[in-house]
Amino acid sequence: MTLHPTPPDPLVAFVPDTVLAPPPDPAAVPEGFLVASADGARIHFLDWGTPAGPGGVPGILLLPGFLAPAWSWAPVARRLAGLRHVVIADLRGHGLSDAPPSGYDTITMAADVAAVAEGSGLLDGGPVVLAGHGFGASLAVAAAARLGAACAAVVLVDGGWERTEETTGLDLDEFLRTLDEPPEVLRSMGAYLADRRAFDPPTWDADQERAARDAVVETAAGHVVRAVRQHVIAACARSMYAYDPAAALAAVAAPVVALVALASGDAAIRSDELRRSATARATAGRPAARVAVFPGDAHNLLRYRPADVAAAMLEPMAGS
């Protein structure tokens, strides 16, 4: 009889050590820059500066989620900027980046990320930590595969491990219809900001308001509309639905850290998706993914758990 060894668990649970993350620096102010991607599209990024002190530690490149501006990462960046060189990119078609008619597939957008990593000088300090939220996590995975040894670790904040159709239970057209905001929310900037504040009043601050304002445009009539144009929304949504996390994560050699919010009713489905992707990665001979779970929190861990997210950026670097 042939004995087969028990396969290792593809997931390793951990709790981020928030002691690693200093308090936010309210005085930190990033500079904005543009870099040309491979196809000529100009990608905007915020550079929070290079801290004084010894070199040799990986810089950090942060990627926002679907429809989110770079400033959405500010609560985390303020905790990291004094320790590491931190850069936040506006995704193609988002924020102050160009919105060309095409190029919203993960391969092209991963090239955008690589251009920011190089153009910002992050790669001058050695391998970089890539971190993304939601759709940005999928792009972080794709960029990590592109960068290879130049990626020190990948931190996935509520995304990057799941198939969108499985976790939403919606097909692409249904998903796009759910993005429509109620007219009463968009009737004025005040109504819109009040709606965003109501998600969790204790965490609403100047950074949250700045991120909310950056995501919309105020019209001459006083209404607000999304800053991201319709062709970008549709194209990015198609990329989200085409993304196969199991195959994508199996192609990444760098350590992977996943932060998972499980407050919603689809917790069981999302847990299954996480294990599916982690198993595919383990089957490819990659190290087990380290996972921190937040059962009581919603999708926006950048707002609700910035210290935990910041700590998770620092933990993989401690062993690099």
- Domain residue ranges in the chain: 11-166+244-318
CA distance linking residue 170 with residue 52, whole number of Å: 48
Question: How many angstroms from the chain centroid is the CA of residue 45?
Answer: 14
Residue-averaged pLDDT of the chain: 93
Q: Cβ–Cβ contacts within 10 Å for residue 284, how many? A: 14
Task: Tell the CATH topology of 11-166+244-318.
Answer: Rossmann fold (3.40.50)
What is the average per-residue pLDDT within 259-265? 81
Q: Is the pLDDT of residue 7 over 90?
A: no
237-241 average pLDDT score: 98
pLDDT at 269: 86
Distance between CA atoms of 228 and 200, rounded to whole angstroms?
Answer: 24
Read off the pLDDT of each residue in 257-284 and give the average, rounded to a whole number: 88
- Nearest CA to 315 among 62, 8, 18, 24? 18
Residue 201 has a CB neighbour count (10 Å cut-off) of: 7
Residue 154 confidence (pLDDT) above 50? yes
Closest CA to 44 of 227, 217, 196, 186: 227
The Cα 288–Cα 83 span in angstroms is 27
